[in-house]
Amino acid sequence: MIKNIVFILSSAFLLAALMLIGSCVDDCNDLADTSTGIIEQDLIFGTCFTDIGALEREYVIRDEAAFQALEILPVNSPDCVGSTALPEIDFNTYTLLGLYADGTCAVTFDRYVIRDDAAMKYIYTIGVTDCGNCDALIFGMNWVLVPKLPENYSVEFVVE
């Protein structure tokens, strides 16, 4: 009789734990990055490139020379043979912004750029949402293309 009670209680505890873990995983799977405001496009270099050369936390890239100086390098992998061309950016039309942000486990980045003409600046804000219970660090440079930054404008970076 006691064995049956222990078995039932331990089974109920295990079932409750699995339901709790499963519900967290389902919530995390529904998360997705967003990009709003004046962002024209997220710039994702893909799995065949690494932005390990990007050592700063914030970037304002206004021209091709600065873009090439980032040292975004092709990955040496059999899957990436022939995929060594970086995306072309029309720097007469766009400015490339990059802002480092990180989180743990399952993370989403909500990117938002606004133009503040009164303050003569763009404001690039990233909201970070963590989900799950683990210690894995997830990070990104959050590269985005925005309309060409006027010469006398600055960029304010915010991570929330």
Is 100 in contact with 158 (CB distance < 8 Å)? no
Dist. CA 81–CA 84, nearest whole Å? 7
Position with higher pLDDT, 131 vs 19? 131
**145 three-state secondary structure:** strand
Burial class of residue 24, CB neighbours in 10 A (0-12, 13-18, 19+):
middle
Dist. CA 65–CA 79, nearest whole Å? 28
The pLDDT of residue 58 is 95
Its pTM stands at: 0.78
Three state DSSP letters for 91-120: CCCEEEEEECEEEEEEEEEEEEEEEECCCC
Pair type for strands 137-140 and 101-104 = antiparallel
pLDDT tens readout for residues 30-89: 788 999 999 999 998 777 777 655 678 999 999 999 998 887 777 777 777 666 677 899
Is 67 in contact with 45 (CB distance < 8 Å)? no
Other CB atoms within a 10 A radius of the CB of residue 26 amount to: 9
Q: Please report, for the chain, the start and end positions of each structural domain, with discontinuous segments joined by +.
A: 1-30, 32-159
